[in-house]
Amino acid sequence: MALVPTSDSTGSALISEVDMGASDPSSVTVRATVVQASTVFYDTLATLDKAERLIAEAASYGSQLIVFPEAFIGGYPRGSTFGVTIGNRTTRGNEEFRKYHAAAIDVPGPEVDRLAVIAGKYKVFLVMGVIERAGYTLYCTVLFFDSQGQYLGKHRKLMPTALERIIWGFGDGSTIPVYETPFGKIGALICWENRMPLLRTALYGKGIEIYCAPTADAREVWQASMIHIGLEGGCFVLSANQFCRRKDYPPPPDYEFSGVGEEPSPDSVVCAGGSVIISPSGVVLAGPNYDGEALISADLDLSEIVRAKFAFDVVGHYSRPEVLSLTVMDQPQHPVFYTSVAKVEKQ
């Protein structure tokens, strides 16, 4: 695993505990790491073991906040169609989904418990991309853990992209959290959700300061989106992507890449990474990295947020609520309601 040096060359001290009564809360610095690594596909236990090794390594370099890629646990099924064409599904595709469903995790569940223990063991705030199993529906989800080993909650991807919609359910407005931490307010949107202006605005409205963007998009144009969000939100942006080769997935015929022409060779790069950390002024602090698996780190000086907001505060002095406003439907949406249960709850 390559370690990409942090952007801070001043030797500034990192926080271990923050005095929440300090007169200047913006004077905090936190070391953050985005993990660029591949899932062990179809092997959730091995992926959890790999995650712990990476967290331990990042913590040994002083990292206090660690962000993993989209779908790190459970896997991003790159190149698969699950046997779906319009008007038809295949027996083989159905079996492929069964295996993918088996690799997902329940939230809460034993894998979530283990991640909480890991976060507490290494004293890190952890943001982890998972595939969540809720009955027979899967969700692309981000889980949040604090440095005391507590599971805080989750964000479910609101809008899966393209063929993702055949394998993942849609999140709702009840899982768009922003968490208060000793080093700022943290939240996350997943991959192309970050291109949805109103969804970004929902996070800005909650005061997000460290904006996590787990993704599966390794294109250069993704970097422009990350820089724009840093500038627009006046926040730090931490984008983590997997770096994968064909051999990180099961070999054919157990797993086949569709729609890419000839089957890739085992060493072919199928996701090139591009993980990056951006400042509130749009400066690239670390990355983007396209060279392989890596831990990409930077020291985040929260006073930069104040300076950036002085010029542009998108939900503050630069807003015009009498002209433009946003209403977020943040209650859970359920397909079935039982009035008898509601009556019992009222008693």
- Determine how many CB atoms are found less than 10 A away from the CB of residue 335: 4
CA-based nearest residue to 238, from 201, 203, 271, 276? 276
Whether 164 is catalytic is no
Q: Look at phi and psi of residue 319 and say left if phi exceeds 0, alpha if psi is from -120 to 50, else beta.
A: beta
Q: Is there a contact between 36 and 242 (Cβ–Cβ < 8 Å)?
A: yes
CA-based nearest residue to 73, from 6, 121, 145? 145
Q: Pairing state of beta strands 284-289 and 275-278?
A: antiparallel
Element (H, E) at 96: helix 91-103
Q: How many CA atoms lie within 13 A of 337 on its CB side?
A: 7
Dihedral over Cα of 15, 20, 26, 27: its sign: negative
Q: Is there a contact between 223 and 288 (Cβ–Cβ < 8 Å)?
A: yes
CA distance 123 to 188: 20
Q: How many CA atoms lie within 13 A of 345 on its CB side?
A: 6
Candidates 52, 70, 95, 262; catalytic one: 70
Q: How far is CA 68 from CA 38, 56, 109, 179, in A?
A: 10, 13, 19, 17
Show which residues are catalytic.
Answer: 70
